[in-house]
Structure formats: structure tokens, C-alpha cells
Amino acid sequence: MRKISSLEYLSMSKANRAWYKFCSFFANLPAAIGRWFRSLPEKFGKLGAKIGGWFGGLWDALRYGNWKTRMSALIWGFGCFAYRQIGRGILYLAYEIIFVLFITLFGAQYLGKLGTLGTVQQIRDPDTDLVLVMGDNSFEILLYSMLTIAVLVFTVVVWILSIKNAYQNQLGYSIAKRAASGKDDIGQLLNHRFHLTILAFPSLTLVVFTIVPLMFMILVAFTNYNRNTLPPANLFTWVGFDNFAAVLTGQAKGLSGSQDAGRWSYTFWKILGWTLEWAVLATVTNLFLGMIVALLINKKSIKLKKMWRTFLVTVVAVPQFISLLLVSKMLNNAGIYNSILYNLGLPTVDWLHKSAPLAKFIIVVVNLWVGVPHTVLTCTGILMNIPDDLYEAAKIDGANPIKMFSKITLPYMMFVLGPSLITTFVGNINNFNIIFLLTGGSTGLADSRLATQAGDLDLLITWLYKLTVNGQQYDVASVLGILIFIVVAFFSLIVYSRIGSVKNEEDFQ
């Protein structure tokens, strides 16, 4: 795309400027992505420098520390006991003992089998169906290995802290002839390090209940864990990038049962296209219709403003899944709309199962009904906070209502709504309720090219749900989960870095 000068840009009409900006965004997108990837080495370098600095303290402790400090590398807390920090010493030593017992009695047996995910197959008596040989459980091996690795990482951190703590005691004792006491530690945790006290437990639960399961889900994408290899009766194994190749390119074969890889690829790209189409339509229609309704309600000539806002709050207060289930009943063949058409002597319409385009149009319309009230309430709050002085000054300068909207209202609203639009767009990509509760993800029209469990109205998130709950195809479902994250992160980071709320934050202040 040809780059134009500032004078050429200023000579354009407003419509041409908007189109030029739109085209420029996508024309410059590959270069922006390239710059981001080229900046990765520098970012990783800075991260490595910080990590290296932290380990540098360990090297100094081992190099310049006395025998008490170095002994802390073998007997954790020894440097604390030596300088009468009994409380710290007991905690370090107790953790070392618990860690050794954990690895010896539990973790080592699973880490040893992580490379193969088990080799012993379960054997049952064909006559009595009793288990003769229990065999390995690939699921437990993978899960407990991830837990053990997390414990190992945390243990390395504790081990380093034990050595550095001993070295700090050595330095402090050589200067002040005393090390920090337990009372000093408690004072630090309640004052200067109070943030560590508050964040310790949430961070632990984050690791155990979020990061470890997330790592487990990511690793499942590199296995053949599906309904044909369900443990403990069967073993699943590592398959590398075959699942990704099947979903993205259709090159891998024999994954998740008898489905050929080409159908996985065709289904993924078709559903991805509809997912992005839906996310854009749902976000844009809700934004502009909600903005128009908010402007109408906010006009000084409109009466009963509180009543209209109360109606909107009522729609928001009703749980969405109840509203959607009710609408799905109203739209079926025996629903109220077809009953009205029948009583009027008109032909009935199969709203959600006659054709995919009609069903998609109905879904977007229904989404307006459940989504516009949220936008209206948000926009109303913004409109009520735009300074009246801006409008009064514009009137004095002779600006008409359209000019005031384009120069004052719209820029102000878009500036504030920018970050919210990103979350709305991401929420629509993962909008499970409206698709699944209205249509189940399918019109019922056959498409032999679609892979198992997929429907022509499915989003990636609804297809993932079907693959896990109905199809037990966890390998491909994990791949979809990773790809959904990549899509969401890509659009979120690109848009967030370019919106005015971030680039020109000082303009609003």
C-alpha cells in the first residue's frame, strides 16, 4: 500500500481517511508482527539478565561464604541454626526432609515414566473381567509428573534462598554482631514485606489449581489421549506435533480414531472463520446499537429516563442462560412465532434449522437483545460524564449535532470503551452460551466434510466442549484450547497496543 504525505491525507474526505486508516492497519500488520518477533530476543535477554542476577547472588554466596554458608547447600537451614535463627532453620530443614520423602516415595516413580507415559498394559481375565495386572496409568503419570516438576522448581527456589539467607546472616553478623531474629522476620512480613504475606497463599493456589492443570492440558496436545486410549485400561503415548499438523494442515494421519487428518483441518478452518465472523458481528452490532439507544435515552427531550434504564437493568438481571433457553423455545417449530404465523395463515419458518445463513442472522439478532442492555448502561455512564462545557463551546462555534457527535461524543466514548471492546471481542470468541443454548452448534444440515462432533454453527469453544464431553477426544481438544489462546492473545495484543486509550492516555487526563 502506497504511503501518502500528510498533505494528501488532510486533503482527503472523512470517509477516505477512515478507509485509509483501515487499510493501513492491515497493510502494516505483517511489519508490526515482524517487529514484535524481532524484539523477542531482546526481551528474553532482559529476562535472562534478571534471572542471572538472581543466580549471581547464589554464586557469590558459594564463592565468598564461610563453611557455615556452604554447609547450608547440603543441610538446609544450617546457616540459620549457626546464627541462632532457629525458626527459619526449622522451616528450611523441615522442607528438605519433606521434599526428600516426597521424591523418594512418590515423585520419582512418575518422573521415571514420563518419557514413555507407561509401558505395562493392564491385563484382565477374559472370563471374569477381573484385573490380573494393574498396569501403568498414563493419565496419572502425566499429571503427577507435572506436579512433581512444579515441586522441583519451587524446591530449587527454596534451596537458593536457604544458601543466600545463610550468606546474609554471615555478612550481617560480621557487621552488627547479630543476625535477624524471629521478631525481626515477623516485623518485616507485617511491614516492608507485607505484600509477600498477602500474596503467598493466592500464589500457591494459582500454581496448584491453574498453572499445573494448564501445563497438563498443553502436554496432552502432544499425546494421543482419546476415547481409544483411555486409562487405566489403555496407555496413551507421545505423538509430537502430529495433532497440530492434523488440525492446521491436514497432513498427519490416524489421529483420534478413524478420522482422517484432512477433515480435522477443514473443520478447524471453517469453524475458525465463523468464530471470527461472529465475534466481529456481535461486537460491532452491540456497540453501535447500544450507543444509539444510549444517546436516545440521554437526550434531554426524552421523558421517563429512569423507566427506560430500569427496563434495561431488568434484562441484565435475568440470568442469560434462562433468557436463551426461553428464546430457543420461542423459535422452534412449535414456538410462539410460528404459532402467530400459522394463525395469520402464513407459512411457518424453521428459524434455526432451515439454513445456516438464516440461523446465523437469528443468532446475531438474539445476541443484540441480550447484549445491547450492557452496552447501553456502559455508554450511559460515559455520556453522563462528558463535560457540558465541550458541547456549549461547540454550539458557540456553530457546530451542528452531527459535528458535535463526530468530534466530541464518539471520540470520547471510543476512548473510554477501547479496553472494554477488547474484552467484549474476546468474550464473543468464547461465547459458549448463545451458540450452544440456541442451536446446539448445528442446524442439523449434513456436511460430510466436517470432523466428528462438529456442527456448522459451532464456535471453536463449543466444538472443544463437544470433543471433550461427548467425544472424549482430549488430544485434539487440547490443541484447540492452545489455538484459541493464540488467536485471542494475538488480536488482544495487537488491538490493545494500537487503541487511543493506551497510546494517548495523557490526552484523557
For residues 89 and 11, membership in a common domain is answered with no
CA dist., res. 455 & res. 352, Å (int): 13
Q: Is 251 left (phi over 0), alpha (psi -120 to 50) or beta?
A: alpha
Q: What angle do CA 164, 167, 171 make, to 5 degrees?
A: 135
In a domain, 255, yes or no: no
pLDDT confidence bin for 183, thresholds 50/70/90: low
Does residue 257 surpass a pLDDT of 50? no
pLDDT, tens digit (0-9, with 9 covering 90-100), for 129-166: 777 788 889 999 999 998 899 899 989 988 988 888 88
Residue 15 belongs to domain spanning: 6-53
For residues 273 and 230, membership in a common domain is answered with no
In a domain, 185, yes or no: yes
Contact status, residue 505 vs residue 497, Cβ threshold 8 Å: no
Per-residue pLDDT, 2? 66
For residues 223 and 284, membership in a common domain is answered with no
For residues 96 and 160, membership in a common domain is answered with yes
pLDDT, tens digit (0-9, with 9 covering 90-100), for 81-100: 887 788 888 888 999 999 99
Contact status, residue 369 vs residue 363, Cβ threshold 8 Å: no
Contact status, residue 396 vs residue 338, Cβ threshold 8 Å: no
In a domain, 382, yes or no: yes
Per-residue pLDDT, 503? 54
Q: Residue 264 is which amino acid? A: W
CA dist., res. 406 & res. 401, Å (int): 9
More confident residue, 70 or 20: 70
**DSSP character string of 243-290:** HHHHHHTS---S-STT--HHHHHHHHHHHHHHHHHHHHHHHHHHHHHH
In a domain, 337, yes or no: no
More confident residue, 385 or 16: 385
For residues 45 and 78, membership in a common domain is answered with no
CA dist., res. 509 & res. 491, Å (int): 27
Share of the chain above pLDDT 90, in %: 12
pLDDT, tens digit (0-9, with 9 covering 90-100), for 4-42: 777 777 777 665 666 677 677 667 767 766 776 777 788
For residues 147 and 232, membership in a common domain is answered with yes
For residues 142 and 273, membership in a common domain is answered with no
In a domain, 446, yes or no: yes
In a domain, 311, yes or no: yes
For residues 412 and 290, membership in a common domain is answered with yes
**DSSP character string of 321-337:** HHHHHHHHHHHSTTSHH
CA dist., res. 63 & res. 347, Å (int): 88
For residues 215 and 275, membership in a common domain is answered with no
Does residue 258 surpass a pLDDT of 50? no
CB within 8 A of 314, min separation 6: which ones? none
Domain count, the chain: 3
Share of the chain above pLDDT 70, in %: 87
The CATH number of the domain where 313 resides is what?
Answer: 1.10.3720.10
CA dist., res. 97 & res. 99, Å (int): 5
CA dist., res. 304 & res. 117, Å (int): 67
Per-residue pLDDT, 387? 78
Among 117, 142, 108, CA closest to 218: 142
Q: Residues 367-382: what's their mean pLDDT?
A: 84
> Of 179, 203, 238, which residue sits at a domain end?
238
For residues 168 and 303, membership in a common domain is answered with no
Is the torsion defined by CA of 14, 15, 17, 22 positive or negative?
positive
In a domain, 492, yes or no: yes
Per-residue pLDDT, 178? 59
Asked whether the bond before 319 is cis by omega within 30 degrees of 0, the reply is no
Q: Residue 329 is which amino acid? A: K
Per-residue pLDDT, 174? 61
Q: Residues 93-113: what's their mean pLDDT?
A: 93
Return the top range by mean pLDDT from 36-40, 61-65, 399-403, 474-478.
Answer: 474-478
CA dist., res. 64 & res. 62, Å (int): 6
> Of 183, 207, 238, which residue sits at a domain end?
238
For residues 428 and 283, membership in a common domain is answered with yes
Q: Residue 257 is which amino acid? A: G
Asked whether the bond before 202 is cis by omega within 30 degrees of 0, the reply is no
In a domain, 339, yes or no: no
Does this model's pTM top 0.85?
A: no
For residues 292 and 434, membership in a common domain is answered with yes
Per-residue pLDDT, 26? 66
